[in-house]
Amino acid sequence: METPVIRQLQILGLISLWLLIVAVPGDLASYTIGVGRADTTGPTAEVVFMGYAKIDQKGSGLHLRTFSRAFIIDDGEERFVFVSVDSAMIGNGVRKTVLEKLQTQFGSMYTEKNVMISGTHTHSAPGGFMQDMLFDLTTFGFVKETFDAMVAGIARSIERAHNNVVSGRIFITQGEVLGANINRSPAAYLNNPQSERDRYKYDVDKTLTQIQFVGADNKLLGVINWFPVHPTSMNNTNHLVSSDNVGYASILFEKAMNKDSLIGKGPFVAAFASTNLGDVSPNTRGPRCEFSGNKCSEQYTCPGKKEMCFASGPGKDMYESTSIIANKIFKESWRLWQSGNAKEVIGPIRVVHQFVNMPEQTAEFYNETTKRLEEVHGCLPAMGYSFAAGTIDGPGSFAFEQGTTTANPLWNAVRNLLAVPTREDIKCHGAKPILLATGRMTLPYEWQPSVVSTQVALIGNVVIAGVPGEFTTMSGRRLREAIKTVMNEVLDDETTVIVAGLCNTYSDYITTPEEYQIQRYEGASTIYGPYTLSIYLKQYTELVTAALFKRNVDPGPPPANFSNKNLLTFVTPVLFDTPKWGRNFGDCIKQPQKLARPGDTVTAVFISGHPRNNLMTENTFLTVERLTKDEVWVPVATDANWETRFEWQRTSVVLGSSQVTITWQVPEDIKQGEYRIRHNGYYRYILGGIFPYYGVSNHFKVETSGQRFYE
């Protein structure tokens, strides 16, 4: 039995051990560090995006490739892997399959305990990879192409990080980014206690936290940044695969460090990972009625049947807005990188992980009304009415409104056709009128997870809490404070707590109990009931305590495994391709202009096959090429560049004909010279087989700085 005296002695002993380790000079306490990046781009055409739950938002091309960025840290005793993936989220099935692939190569080195995989939450990447029915429903079921591309890319990034490990050092610093995020549910935030809100200057976090990785030989290896913002600058009218604002910020940082490399190919790896972004929008102009431009109602609705309440900005369109937000985040991260003011992280690594069945959990909650400490518990998963209303970043359908706390008999009747919530369910979810009793929906398989992954990594006095969903601003603050309280019992040094969002499992949102009562979209999507956060606060403080004292943690109940099931899919395969009559695959049917200058947009159109015939992972559907003095064509841009767009169009469904439009906005820093556009693709022959093709445009000249070519 652990008495208070024994616990005090344990704490004193641990303090002595921790301070002894922290006191060791940096050159003797270096870590083993590895960084790696890999392409995860899935099908870019005719697959619905994951994020907005809009079934007509099918991909038709490529804006920015998606990547997985892996970071390995090893202190000689424990190894920790953090992975940031340009995806909407991460599911149990994705992580499990990644670990299985790694096991074939590395044995038991990489496990559920020490690998943390975080989704950036871009809403413009292909869906169908979650293996939970609700999340795959709007993508027409499971899409194996998406799943396989994600798994292969994540595993490959970890393999590359493993093969790149060197002795190195870690540094941490923080800065402030203004004008890049707003709270999209201020009414819910204002329901938090006034005394708590008074402790913070803003209703969203403005802090950017940066971890820097430097080799022992001072070689610059990589960086991870955490800043709370939804990657929803690319709105739900977008049909081009994109990593959105945080993905572009990663590209900007890597481009600055890997000066002579194509995008996604250089050795330096920069991630902009998700944190407590639940109620945080990048659309800083705020909500307005779609057509009139008038302010939305208090319920975020607009008059008229078809007019939606949308948030937008700060740019004139979604592309400019994406660029502005990305550059704001990048510039502060770059300033921090160059400032030289980062503090070195020194100390042991401790990683703990536990699966938790949320409906079975209990916790204590202090009721401000009764002034009593109450025992509370989790609920079976359920989604509320306001979930269907969507958010100002992507409004929903029908007549649902945010803030709905009263059920509708008609919608309840529709709901009951799928699953009827019990009286216990209704009571448990409290202020939330249940629209979908997902915890009781098991056909054809699980609709939402009951078992989630919880994980904590301690690196010296830095704590990374991997959470299985989207924490709101105040929920994230409470979690950081709870963890700091535990850490401060042991460490005199200031603790930095990072909430790493959307890790390992996706279980929607986590609001505070007070925010939950307002039933905005986030509260309606807090699927385990009003005390979900209370349970997580208890769980993560217990994990941190276990990590500090090096206690073994029970692995917990495993999540549902669908790997051996026939998952439903209604995504039609590509049957065959044929070119237009009298044409061949790769023919350029619209040539670029003969002369271009910085800022101009160059366009070429090619006869194509279907992009799903080959996802061109670690490759490219297009290159912009420059002719060197040696008469060699060298690539200067690919489909991973911000300046290029790849847009696919089916010209005949019956004949299987299609074409692609490639555009390139000439950069300001371009070299003067002779250029061309190349398209690479694959076509599916009607009698079987997939075959490569390519096409090139006519040459065109680029002039810069007033200089001209003379014929």
Q: What angle do CA 586, 591, 595 make, to 5 degrees?
A: 140
| Beta-strand relationship, 362-367 and 390-391 | unpaired
Half-sphere exposure of 547 (CA within 13 A, CB side): 32
Q: Which amino acid is at 515?
A: E
Q: Which of 145, 157, 219, 208 is nearest to 179 (CA)?
A: 208
**Does residue 444 have a cis bond before it (omega within 30 degrees)?**
yes
Show Cβ contacts of residue 704 under 8 Å, excluding neighbours closer than 6 positions.
Answer: 597, 598, 670, 671, 672
Structure tokens at 296: 């939305």
Residue 141 neighbours by CB distance under 10 Å: 17
| Alpha carbons 342 and 515: distance in angstroms, whole number | 35
- Residue ranges of the alpha helices (H) in 61-207? 92-106, 133-137, 144-163, 186-189, 194-197
b (16+ CB within 10 A) / e for 183-192: bbbeebbebb
Structure tokens at 285: 């102009």
Question: Which listed residue (68, 84, 243, 281) is catalytic?
Answer: 281
How would DSSP label each residue in 646-696?
Answer: EEEEEEETTTTEEEEEEEEEPPTTPPPEEEEEEEEEEEE-TTS-EEEEEEE
| Alpha carbons 482 and 461: distance in angstroms, whole number | 15
How would DSSP label each residue in 457-519?
Answer: EEETTEEEEE-SSEE-HHHHHHHHHHHHHHHHTT-SSPPEEEEE-SBSS--BEE--HHHHHH-
| Alpha carbons 611 and 608: distance in angstroms, whole number | 8
Show Cβ contacts of residue 193 under 8 Å, excluding neighbours closer than 6 positions.
Answer: 368, 514
Show Cβ contacts of residue 120 under 8 Å, excluding neighbours closer than 6 positions.
Answer: 84, 85, 86, 87, 231, 243, 244, 246, 247, 272, 273, 274, 502
Half-sphere exposure of 611 (CA within 13 A, CB side): 31
| Alpha carbons 506 and 451: distance in angstroms, whole number | 10
Q: How far is CA 106 from CA 60, 68, 148, 162, 519, in A?
A: 38, 19, 20, 10, 46
- Residue ranges of the alpha helices (H) in 91-185? 92-106, 133-137, 144-163
| Beta-strand relationship, 595-596 and 700-702 | parallel
Question: Which residues partner with 83 through β-bridges?
Answer: 70, 117
Three-state secondary structure call for residue 386? helix
Q: Which of 372, 430, 379 is nearest to 406 (CA)?
A: 430
| Alpha carbons 534 and 165: distance in angstroms, whole number | 39
Q: Which of 342, 277, 344, 347 is nearest to 487 (CA)?
A: 347
| Alpha carbons 260 and 267: distance in angstroms, whole number | 11
b (16+ CB within 10 A) / e for 318-340: bbebbbbbbbbbbebbbebbeee
Question: Tokens 């390519």 sit at which residue?
Answer: 694
Structure tokens at 570: 């209604």
Question: Which residues partner with 271 through β-bridges?
Answer: 224
CB 247 within 8 A of CB 321: no
| Alpha carbons 381 and 360: distance in angstroms, whole number | 11
Please confirm, yes or no, whether 242 is among the known catalytic residues: no
83: left (phi over 0), alpha (psi -120 to 50) or beta: beta
Residues labelled as active-site residues: 281
